[in-house]
Amino acid sequence: MKVLVIGGGGREHALVWKLSQSPRVDKVYCAPGNAGISEIAECINIRIDDFEGLIDFVKYNWIDLTVVGPEAPLSEGIADAFIKEERIIFGPVKAGARLEGSKQFAKDFMQKYGIPTAEYKTFSSYIQAEEYVRLKGAPIVVKADGLAAGKGVIVAETVDEAIDALKLIMKDKAFGKAGSKVIVEQCLKGEEASFMILTDGKTVVPLATSQDHKQIFDGDKGPNTGGMGAYSPAPILTDKMSNEVMKTIIDPMMKGLERERINYRGVIYVGLMICEGKPYVLEYNVRFGDPEAQPILFRLDSDLFDVLKATAEGRLNEIDVTWKEGVSICVVLASEGYPGSYKKGDVIKGLDHFKGSRDVVVFHAGTTHNNGEIITSGGRVLGVTALGDSISSAQDSVYRAIEKIKFNGMQFRKDIGNKAIKKK
């Protein structure tokens, strides 16, 4: 069997890494890939938004399954284009991808189907949005409606911060057309967690739980990023809490999709806030989280190819998804300046230490080759991921591994896993 993975970040490296372990997979391609992916798959130079080019590649190379990593091509309808050409693709159609592509659609969907979420209001007028913020006060959350690479959500602790956020999104156009509308919503206080499911539109299979760390600095300080680290499982998502999520969030969500006549096949990532013992939805994503995919896929015991192909073909009820015992932690190493402007082209040292390692894998995100060396090419550069018997042992392993890696300006959080240890 041949597989094409679309994307070039840490999530896609983890997908390629796990797919390449399947005895049923003979060849993995990745478009466009990165330096780490190129060591285990053939990287092809086709843009993720070149649907015609990707479909042609799939046809002429007899690809059996295409797996979409990032949200942008899903929101633009890549699955619809592949399905029209009768090609098997893992990922939701454009109508389903609106759950992530439009925060207004997602919030209206939650309200319509009784899914617990924060009180909100949508604005296309800056003046009206500012008036609402002054009326409601702070803390308050300001969100760009469209896709903003995980950076379009600003938690404002003061009214002035909220108004600055409105200016940034609506006047300065920091996120382009994604900020043509904003959602202003109640700021829920609690602990965040990530709850992902696989679904083929009929069957629902919860994935291993995880917890992401969005802010750039230790202690959840500083601006939001695409994610600075994650661990799996998340102690806050006990069996009781997971059952509550399934009952109050997943079940009505699936019924809502059915009533909207959306045949959703892929991953749904539910970003949760656990507030006074109750789960609320902060956002939906329509793909594997990044960096949550890295520790989750590290713990997956089943054949990922079988799981994804069955999901894409509507046969998820035939698959038994199993998990390894223990805990996995991923810590993101980022370029200096990220999530703002950052430098590229710094040489990365120390990666050879992990070749052949079973307990530590370094997933590449923003890397490329230059004159025989691996250099930085993005804000989030690497995701160092370790497996351990306990949260403490996994944490020790991952931070020992990080000591061996060097590039100029390297920054990372030193507290990934601390919340889980406190829960023990």
pLDDT digits (tens, 9 = 90+) for 86-139: 999 999 999 999 999 999 999 999 999 999 999 999 999 999 999 999 999 999
Per-residue model confidence as pLDDT tens digits over 385-416: 999 999 999 999 999 999 999 999 999 999 99
CA distances for 314 relative to 100, 198, 199, 263, 336, angstroms: 22, 11, 8, 10, 44
Domain range annotation of the chain: 2-93, 125-180, 191-318, 327-423
CATH level 3 topology of 125-180? Dna Ligase; domain 1 (3.30.1490)
CATH architecture, domain 191-318: 2-Layer Sandwich (3.30)
Per-chain mean pLDDT for the chain: 95
Which structure tokens are listed for 366? 């923003």
CATH architecture, domain 2-93: 3-Layer(aba) Sandwich (3.40)
Predicted TM-score (pTM) of this structure:
0.94
What's the average model confidence in pLDDT over 21-27?
A: 98
Position 299, amino acid: R
Per-residue model confidence as pLDDT tens digits over 188-241: 999 989 999 999 999 999 999 999 999 999 999 998 898 999 999 999 999 999
Q: Are strands 204-206 and 191-199 parallel, antiparallel or unpaired?
A: antiparallel
Which structure tokens are listed for 78? 């890549």
Question: What 3-state class would DSSP assign to 140?
Answer: strand
Indicate the burial class of 340 (C-beta count within 10 angstroms; 0-12, 13-18, 19 or more).
exposed
Q: Please give the DSSP secondary-structure letter assigned to residue 348.
A: P
Query: 222's torsion region: left (phi>0), alpha (psi -120 to 50) or beta?
Result: left
| CA dihedral sign of residues 385, 389, 390, 395 | negative
For residue 424, pLDDT beyond 80 = no
- Quote the pLDDT of residue 377: 97
For residue 423, pLDDT beyond 70 = no
Question: What 3-state class would DSSP assign to 174?
Answer: coil
CATH code linked to domain 327-423: 3.90.600.10
For residue 150, pLDDT beyond 80 = no
Q: Which residues pair with 266 in a beta bridge?
A: 199
**Residue pair 208/301 in contact by the 8 Å Cβ criterion:** no
- Quote the pLDDT of residue 57: 98
DSSP letter string, 25-46 = --EEEEEE--TTGGGTSEE---
Of 114, 117, 108, 119, the residue nearest 280 (C-alpha): 117
For the chain, count helices (H), then strands (E): 14, 22
**Residue pair 18/44 in contact by the 8 Å Cβ criterion:** no
